[in-house]
Every structure is written in structure tokens, then in C-alpha cells.
Structure 1
Amino acid sequence: MAVAQWNDKSGKGVIPSIAQEVASRRPAHAPLAPNAAGLVFAAGSGQRLYTSGLNIPQPYSIFAVAKCSSQASVRAIIGSNTSGACAVLYANTASTMAVTLGGGQIAGTVDATALHAYLLIANGASSSLWVDGVQVATGTLGTNAMTELYVGASIAPSGGFWDQYIDEVMVFAGAVSADEMLSLFARSRVRWNSP
């Protein structure tokens, strides 16, 4: 079944919904774990979900559980259509996941062809990327607010479409605390069997 819209289930309304109006660009919805389902993005299809009109200042945090089938070229879990409108979380080489925003970049060694839980904290000079509860990168990103969000793609600054699973995406206004981080990764291990 194709997904035209993904709704916020938190009740906090940070991002009420994210949608795709073009039928050919809708990812599929499929069971990916015993008690959970996620999105399946077909390779080479340009499938993605999108929302705009946001104004989430830094710091903000993005949590995603994902796996790609090939890490040979740019594959974006999270991105934007306009350069600087959102931090871009993407596989940029055969062994690296990177985050780009406003001219800054941080990157860490990750095999994105395996299922992982990712946490990006966009916070200017104190930005960080965590994978399965381990910090893999820290450094400086631009201080841009999030004004739009793509799930499964990034058009700018570098194009790239995700090509397998994105099981969950959460966006937080603010940097998650250490306790919240532990809870997110523990929940991911139970729900998605991530490392």
C-alpha cells in the first residue's frame, strides 16, 4: 500500500503531518518487524515524503531508524529541497554517514546497509550524530532553523534518495536529554531489533 501521508502520533504537533501528493513518489507501507511497520522506498524511484512551512529553531533533534540496500552513492534519510532548510542526514560513501547544514558537515563511519537507529542533534558548534547509542561524529553545523523536511530524499545541497527502509522518524524541538536518548535507543532495540 502506498503512503500518501504520515501523521504525527505524539500529540505534540511539532510536525502535524508529512505527505506526498504525486502517486508515483509515494513509498510503500509494509510490516518490517513483528509488531511494527515502516516505509519501503524503491531504488531509483524518487519516492519521498515532504512538508514545509516549519520554523523549528536550533537546537533540534531528529531520530530515525533506517537501512539502505546500497551505500555506493548519496542516500538521504532526511533532507530538504532548499539548501539550509533542514539538516541532511545521508550516506555519502560506502562506509560513511554524514550530516550537512549551512556549510558545515560532520561524518562518522557506519554501514548503512545494516539496520541502525540514528540520532542527529543539530546545535551549531555542538552538533552530534549518534548511531545505536554511540556518538560517531561531533562538530559544527550551520545554525539554520528547520523550515522544511523531506523523508527519504534530499534535493539540496546534494541530491539523493533512500533506497530501502525508514522505519521511524521523530523530530524534537530542542536537544534531547541523556535520559531521552537512552530511552529512544532502548525503544528502538525492542521495537526494531536495532543493535
Structure 2
Amino acid sequence: MTKLAEPNADLAEMIRTIPDHPKPGIMFRDISTLMLDGGSFAATIDRLAEALEGDAPDLIAGTEARGFVFASALAYRLGCGVLMLRKAGKLPGPSVRIEYALEYGTDMLEMHDDACGPGANIVLVDDLIATGGTALAAVELLRGRGAHVSQALFVIDLPELGGAQKLRDAGVEPHALVEFSDD
């Protein structure tokens, strides 16, 4: 069952669902179909910008890889910078990293050690929030450099997996345009 916020039903309709990918029982929400449509992609960026509360951020932090797309477009729309949170070993300069748990092991995120400083107001952006592991690691990494992270924006929330609530528990208010249940 898809829960649609009335103003975002048009965006939800642009997101393709692929059953049993990458394994049986998973309903994969494919955001690439939304990204292929210029009007839908523009509306997505506009609505993410409208969801921000309070002061304009200094930086938009996007997680690899689809998060980069949304973070870059949103930063352009807001007139601020983009901070890339990358998989380990991808950055050329000195970096800081964090290891975090996944269902099937661990992964790492890293950023350049001079990408942000104490007091920077940063909004985290990604295409989807599921269990929250990557988002929580990103928040911890940014806060470890002294950044202020109180909001995170997502196109899709899978609320049954609990990631948005984990962010709230960590003091970060998540905003998602569309929610999909496991049905």
C-alpha cells in the first residue's frame, strides 16, 4: 500500500516499483524513472527546498551515489555548497571516515577532512531512507567535525523499516516527499 501526501502523488506515480529485486520479497523503489522526467525532477527539487525549516544551510551533504544528484540540484536551487559523502577510498585528499553496520556486514563513509568546520549548518539529502544506517553514519561523521545537522531530506521514506524514527531519536528531523509501505 502506498501512502501518498496529496501534493506529492504525482511524484509517487513516477517512481517505478520492481518486485523481488534484489531478492525475493523486496519491493525495489526505482527513483530513476522520476529522474528521467525533467518536470518531475524539477518539482522534486522545488518540494525538497520547500520542506526545509529555519535558516538556509551552509552546505547540502549528499551520500553516494543518488544522494549526489539530489544534493547538487538542491544546493544550486538554494545557492549553497555541496558536500560529498563518499564510499571509502574515493576521495583524493586527506579524509575522515566512519564505519557503520549494514544488514550483511559493514560499510564506510568518508569526506575530506576540511569539507566543513565547527558550526556549519548542514542538511543531509538522499533519495531514500530505509533502515537509517547510512543516514545515521552521515550525521555522526558530520557532527564529528562540529557541524550542526538537524534536518534530513529524502524523496522516499520506507517507514516500516524505521530509519526516519532513528533519525528523530538522534535529533534530526527527517522530511520525505513520498512514503511507500512494504505491500
**TM-score w.r.t. length of structure 1:** 0.32
Task: Pick 1 or 2: higher relative contact order, CA cutoff 8 A, min separation 6.
Answer: 1
Choose between structure 1 and 2: higher strand proportion: 1
**Between structures 1 and 2, the one with greater helix share:** 2
Structure of larger gyration radius: 2
